Amino acid sequence: MKNAERGILSPYDLRKPLNRIVYLLMCLVILAMVLSMVYPIAVAFFNGVKANVEVNTFPPHFLPESWNWDNYSKAWHYIDLPKYLRNTLFIFAGNMVMTVVVLGLASYSLSRLEWPYRKAAYGFFMATLFVPPATYLVPSFINLKELHVISTFWGLWLPAGANAFYLLLLKSFFDGLNPELFESARIDGASELRGFFQIAFPLSLPIFATLAIFVFSSAWNDWFWPTFVLSQDRYPLSTAIKLFVIDARRLDLNIRFALLTMVMVPPILIFLVFQRFIIRGLHLGGVKG
């Protein structure tokens, strides 16, 4: 018997009828799970091409009777999707630069450079992990107002550099790099800045890629905080969808679904293409997803 051939169950177990039935049931449950994941996405798409009367009938049917593709052109003209998508990407880019430069340099210094009171500085960063963010949500808002960064992108970009969890991930990654690389660079006369950007950064691309997934998914998902921090023309896609599509009073249901589909499909396609890398990256990040 080959080891690769078995998991918890061995081929021998599967010969017993009771085990077979349970295994079959288990496969059905997984199939049901897969369908329940795909169903809402499919239903959004089909509802987006139905006539509005058809979306509102009870009981709802899955496939549309008529295919109204012009829903999409109506939806496209309803809000300026490219503008809000651009804002989201802009927020993501700024947050990522902050993560690479500010957190990257700091964790490199904490991990690879020697200086007095380094432990204390590390504590200064890590202690913030123990305070739940919800407890200082409101003071954060007042603070941003007092610093006059509210309603600009800086109100999101600057605080993006204050993430102790990412700092921790980066530092533990740098800890694992071979110190001799940096020694030899130093002997060759490279400055510490070059050591970071030309040696540490390229070697740490996997962890930065993982962080990019995290940073992207938070820029992509966060809708609530930007409503307070940004002015209306700087809203990211999520916020715009929440306020102008989901909370809209007078918007036909089929157009609403067409809009939701347009927002949903591109990231799903990107995910399906890159899922191997993305899932591997998530494992590198340990637990947060």
Partner 1 sequence: MWRKYVWGYAFVLPAALIFLLFTWTPMVKGMIYSFYHVDFVKGDTFVGLDNYRAIFRDPVIGTAVKNTLYYMGLCIAVGFWVPILFAVAISELRRGQGIARVAAYLPYVVPVVVLYGLWRWLYDPVGPINALLTQFGLSPVNFMTDPKWSMASLVFMETWQQFGSAMLIYLAAILSIPRDWYEAAEIDGAGVWKRIRHITLPAIRGQIALLFVLQLIATSQGYQSQLAMLDGGPNNATLTYALNIVKNAFNRLDYGGASALGVLMFLVLGLLAALQQRISKRGEGAA
CB of 67 to partner 1, least distance (A): 20
Instruction: Write each residue from 99 to 128 as x if it is in contact with partner 1 (CB under 8 A), else as -, in one continuous string.
Output: --xxx-xx-xxx--xxxx-x--x--xx--x
Residues from 174 through 203 that contact partner 1 (CB under 8 A): 191-193, 196
Q: Candidates 67-75, 76-84, 202-210, 256-264 — which segment interacts with partner 1 by CB under 8 A?
A: 256-264
Q: Of the candidates 63, 120, 187, 272, which one interacts with partner 1 according to CB under 8 A?
A: 272
Instruction: Write each residue from 142 to 171 as x if it is in contact with partner 1 (CB under 8 A), else as -, in one continuous string.
Output: xx-x-x----------xx-xx-x--x----
Residues from 209 through 238 that contact partner 1 (CB under 8 A): 217, 220-221, 223-224, 228, 237-238
Number of other residues whose CB lies within 10 A of the CB of residue 158: 17
Counting contacts by CB under 8 A, is residue 241 touching partner 1? yes
49's CB contacts (< 8 A; 6+ apart) are 64, 67, 68, 69, 71, 72, 254, 258
Nearer to partner 1, 18 or 178 (CB): 18
Q: How many whole angstroms separate alpha carbon 69 and alpha carbon 83?
A: 23
CB of 176 to partner 1, least distance (A): 19
| Terminal alpha carbon distance of the chain | 37
Q: How many residues bind partner 1, per CB under 8 A?
A: 104
Amino acid symbol at 40: P
Nearer to partner 1, 47 or 68 (CB): 47
Cα angle 137, 286, 176; round to 5: 110
Instruction: Write each residue from 39 to 78 as x if it is in contact with partner 1 (CB under 8 A), else as -, in one continuous string.
Output: -xx-xx--x--------x-xxx------------------
Give the torsion sign (CA, 190, 195, 198, 203).
positive
Q: Which run of H or of E encompasses 172? A: helix 164-175
Angle of the 81-98 helix axis to the 253-284 helix axis, nearest 10 = 20
- Residue pair 238/88 in contact by the 8 Å Cβ criterion: yes
